[in-house]
Amino acid sequence: MIRNLIVLALGAIAIPEAAALCLLESGALRDQAIGSQIIRVAADAPADASNPIASYDSDALGVQLEYGCDNGTPYGKSTVGLNGQNPATYIYETNVPGIGVKLLWNNGLGATGNFPSVTTVKLPTNRGIMKIAAGSYFRAQFFKLTDNLVLSNKAGDLVLPSALRAFNYFNTDAVGEAYARLNIGNITIISTPVCTVDQSKVIDFTQVTAGALKSGVEKPLNFFVNCRTDYGTYSAKAMMTAADASADSTYIKVTDASGNKDRLGIRITDGKTQTIRMNDSTSSEQLYNVASGSNAQYQWKATLFSTSTEAPQPGPFNAKAEIVFNID
């Protein structure tokens, strides 16, 4: 007799519950962008985590998106390649210590939210439509977080290199699930020196004689400029302008007591005894590698002399000129 042993396995097969999902039903996905930008900041700008030194908006989404969503589906905002976020301010670190970046999303209806965030779809029914307005856009804000920066490239230090930086998603926190993505171009920063100049200078030649004028009467013209810079050192170029300059620009015309301007002149020479020509940007004295916060000190001379065989009218005389600085 042949017998077959039949073993019956009793049990149940579990069918997993379907995960809550959102699926695009209307509209076309596209990336949004903030192009390359140069941030310009004054060296004396204070640290401030509330007021940005620069703010840039992306282009708008451009078309309304409609997602069919199950109630309870996760959705949120995430960043890419950003680190060191302060959870109190939502500001991330950048390549430049002391400069931070905050990313935001505006839903096109007046509401703005920080990155990152996550929540779930909340609908009155088990499934419904979630709409993303065509006017939605990203915003990038940059903050100065320290009073002093340490920069090295006067053409622009790189704050953030060009890259995908943020996205909004349904379902899971992944770029592949994004319904909006933000690309940011190269962001660089240039700091502008902030300077104080010496007080106005009055050169008093006191009483001079005709004989002294023939050889010239020399007086010191010492002055300084003091600059604060984020580059450690600065250079300062000083030049001079005058409304009443000689035809060859080598001296300032002096007005005597009778209003004559053709009998006296004042010649300006720099610390190397070179004549400073009026209204000539190529005629100047430049001081290099001056430490931030230190004086760039100039020691010039002003020489009063006769410019005519005719004597000036006795009495007071005057002349006026301005020193102009170019700071780098």
β strands within 71-114, DSSP E: 74-79, 92-93, 99-106, 112-114
Do the beta carbons of residue 142 and residue 148 sit within 8 Å?
no
Q: What is the pLDDT of residue 19?
A: 58
User: Which residues in the chain are classed under CATH 2.60.40.3310?
Assistant: 22-192
Q: In DSSP terms, which residues pair with 234 in a beta bridge?
A: 290
Helix, strand or coil, per DSSP, at residue 211? helix
Q: What is the pLDDT of residue 210?
A: 81
Do the beta carbons of residue 317 and residue 232 sit within 8 Å?
no
User: Which residues in the chain are classed under CATH 2.60.40.1090?
Assistant: 194-327
Q: What is the pLDDT of residue 20?
A: 65
Q: What is the pLDDT of residue 214?
A: 87
Q: What is the pLDDT of residue 147?
A: 96
User: Angle at the Cα of 285 (from 279 to 290), degrees rounded to 5?
Assistant: 135
- Between the CA of residue 325 and those of 45, 111, 169, what are the distances in Å? 21, 47, 53
Dihedral, CA of residue 302, residue 308, residue 310 and residue 315, to nearest 10: -20
Q: Which residues contact 94 (CB under 8 A, 6 or more apart)?
A: 100, 101, 142, 159, 160, 187
- What is the model's pTM? 0.85
- Mean pLDDT, 10 residues at a time, the chain of 328 residues: 38 47 94 98 98 98 96 97 97 98 97 97 95 97 97 98 98 96 98 96 90 92 98 98 97 95 96 97 97 98 94 92 97
Report the DSSP pairing between strands 187-192 and 37-42: parallel
Distance CA 286, CA 296 (A): 9
Q: What is the pLDDT of residue 161?
A: 98
Do the beta carbons of residue 142 and residue 54 sit within 8 Å?
yes
> For tokens 């300062």, what's the residue?
236
Q: Sheet holding 322-327: strands in order across?
A: 285-291, 233-241, 322-327
CATH topology of domain 194-327: Immunoglobulin-like (2.60.40)
Distance CA 70, CA 122 (A): 9
Backbone angles phi, psi at 214, to 5 degrees: -65, -40
CATH number, domain 22-192: 2.60.40.3310
Distance CA 154, CA 20 (A): 53
